[in-house]
Structure 1
Amino acid sequence: MKINASAALLTAAVLPCTAVYAADSTKIGYGQGTAVDEKNRPVDAVQFNSRFGDLDAFALSGDDKRIIITFDQGYENGYTARILDTLREKNVQAIFFLTGPYAKTESALVKRMINEGHILGNHGMTHASLPTLCDEDAKKEIMSLHDYVMNNYGYQMQYFRCPCGEYSEQALETAKNCGYKTLFWSSAYVDWNTNCQPDPAEGLRKLTDAAHGGEILLLHSVSATNAEILGQLIDNFRAGGFEV
């Protein structure tokens, strides 16, 4: 099938971690907020790019025609194969951010992601909040998973997503000095609570209404709602004039 390689919005060569920091270590919890600009982009995401772009950290891509779909892969809940089926049917390339346990226990699904042209991202070996770690442990959190995926799948990851959405200036600098670009998101909703899933129609409406150019959409593959609405959501994005 034809994979749209331009969904790989940024590139980075992963290098050994080396740095001495003077950056701010204050822990910040990321959120895209509710206020939007004239392009329907969350104002907080726009400001995040402006503030942290020089640290290779982004909440929006630079392509105002595209929506990039990303999934956080903390554990398997039985929906990822269906999600992959939909992405293949719709000819969409997504980014899957793996934790260490997922990479170690779900080899068939990870191999399928690679074989079908998707991008693997690094979500931390143990999903630890980077700002709570010392420098060496923060590097280990990133690079131990990087090395595991390289050694076991022959795949070099280049995008990092901060576990728990928690970051600091120092944490972003750590990721950059490990050769990574850090991707947050500009659209998300409460889809991760498996005991209280969004109503599919309401979830579809929310995500469709929030669409904007340069969007980085965060979804969780543990969500039954996401597995149900993904195909229609992609169709809605395209009907709105966006590339996916």
Structure 2
Amino acid sequence: MNKLILARFAAVFTAGVLTACGMTGRKENGGDDIGASSAAAEPVMITAKGVKSDYSALSGECHGYGQGVQVDEKNRTLGALDFNHTYGKYSAKAINEDDKKITLTFDQGYENGYTAQILDTLKEKNVKAVFFLVQDYAERNPELVRRMIDEGHTVANHSVHHYSMPSLNEETCRTEITDFHEYMKENFGVEMTLFRPPMGEFSEKSLAVTADCGYETVLWSFAYADWNADDQPEPSAALDKLRKAAHEGAIYLLHSVSSTNAQILGDLIDGLREDGFEL
């Protein structure tokens, strides 16, 4: 499981954009063209229970998300804003346009020994974060998951098996979400409401199925190459990069397997607050 997830992350960030399903797009960290596809979507009716639609009318084309490097006058990444504009109808977002706070999110594919340190820092700095869990992680690390919950963080759904959602049929796509939902409800007493598609890969159909499961899809407006435990960014450079990327409503994607992230997290929080941001 761990090797599979690490290999998938490697494919993602080596290219600089999530392109495992053949999307041609802008590169996440310094390329030319980035952002979610702006292809037109079929009109969809959304109710309190999610999307009500004939899934056969929705595109199953796989898109790989990357926030890009181009920004507006508020330093907000255009790829994130474009995603909101194009796919918001599916209860999906990559940036909080109605909230000036910065949200820290951590993807939990496997445990590398730094999550407890990250939780210590968040507790010390009085910051609540969002942890996107794969089911295998929750099964193997119940003490850490319980601590996340008890300390007021949001635990969120990153699927059962970390498959590319657009590669699945409708029913399997649904069970990747709902089976883990039921596991967390039965074993931890929580009902998750946020979903991050593995590798940032999605289709109109997978977003619609996710919404129909009662979930909001949450991507990110900033991420950087922190995922490779054997090739970590230099701490001072990483801290500078993270602070310079700050913007209102930002959703930061970080990985808890990163020794750099664990090392600089306290300084990052202090720095963002010094820059006038609230977390």
Which of the numbers 156, 177, 181 marks the counterpart of 2:216?
181
Contact 2:51 2:208 (8 Å CA) reproduced: no
**Distance across 2 between alignment mates of 1:95 and 1:64:** 16
**Distance across 2 between alignment mates of 1:186 and 1:196:** 23
Judged with a 3 Å threshold, the aligned counterparts in structure 2 of structure 1 residues 152 and 15 are, in CA distance, closer, same or farther, namely: farther
Matched length: 232
Q: What are the within-5 Å matches in structure 2 for residues 24-103 of structure 1? A: 24-103=59-138
**Distance across 2 between alignment mates of 1:128 and 1:161:** 12
Contact 2:50 2:211 (8 Å CA) reproduced: no
Summarize deviations over 1:158-182 as a string: whole Å, max 9, x none.
0000101101111110100000000
Contact 1:121 1:160 (8 Å CA) reproduced: yes
> 1:62, CA displacement in angstroms?
2.7
Aligned to 1:4: none
Contact 1:17 1:139 (8 Å CA) reproduced: no
Q: What are the within-5 Å matches in structure 2 for residues 1-244 of structure 1? A: 20-21=54-55, 22-244=57-279
Contact 1:19 1:177 (8 Å CA) reproduced: no
TM-score by length of 1: 0.92
> Structure 2: 5+ residue runs without aligned partners?
1-46
Judged with a 3 Å threshold, the aligned counterparts in structure 2 of structure 1 residues 14 and 191 are, in CA distance, closer, same or farther, namely: farther
> 1:200, CA displacement in angstroms?
0.4
1:34 alignment partner, SS class: coil
> 1:64, CA displacement in angstroms?
4.4
Judged with a 3 Å threshold, the aligned counterparts in structure 2 of structure 1 residues 161 and 14 are, in CA distance, closer, same or farther, namely: farther
**What amino acid maps onto 1:213 in structure 2?**
E
2:229 alignment partner, SS class: coil
1:145 alignment partner, SS class: helix
**Distance across 2 between alignment mates of 1:95 and 1:14:** 23
Judged with a 3 Å threshold, the aligned counterparts in structure 2 of structure 1 residues 95 and 226 are, in CA distance, closer, same or farther, namely: same
Judged with a 3 Å threshold, the aligned counterparts in structure 2 of structure 1 residues 45 and 16 are, in CA distance, closer, same or farther, namely: closer
> 1:23, CA displacement in angstroms?
1.1
Summarize deviations over 1:84-133 as a string: whole Å, max 9, x none.
00000000000000001001110000000000000011000001110000
Contact 1:52 1:58 (8 Å CA) reproduced: yes
Judged with a 3 Å threshold, the aligned counterparts in structure 2 of structure 1 residues 55 and 217 are, in CA distance, closer, same or farther, namely: same
Q: CA RMSD of the aligned region, Å? A: 1.6
**Distance across 1 between alignment mates of 2:130 and 2:84:** 19
Contact 2:51 2:90 (8 Å CA) reproduced: no
2:156 alignment partner, SS class: strand
Summarize deviations over 1:53-95 as a string: whole Å, max 9, x none.
1111000013442000000000000000000000000000000
Higher relative contact order (CA 8 A, sep 6+): 1
> 1:240, CA displacement in angstroms?
1.0
Aligned to 1:6: none
**Distance across 1 between alignment mates of 2:248 and 2:112:** 30
**Distance across 1 between alignment mates of 2:58 and 2:271:** 42
TM-score by length of 2: 0.81
**Distance across 1 between alignment mates of 2:53 and 2:142:** 33
> Structure 1: 5+ residue runs without aligned partners?
1-12
**Distance across 2 between alignment mates of 1:19 and 1:142:** 19
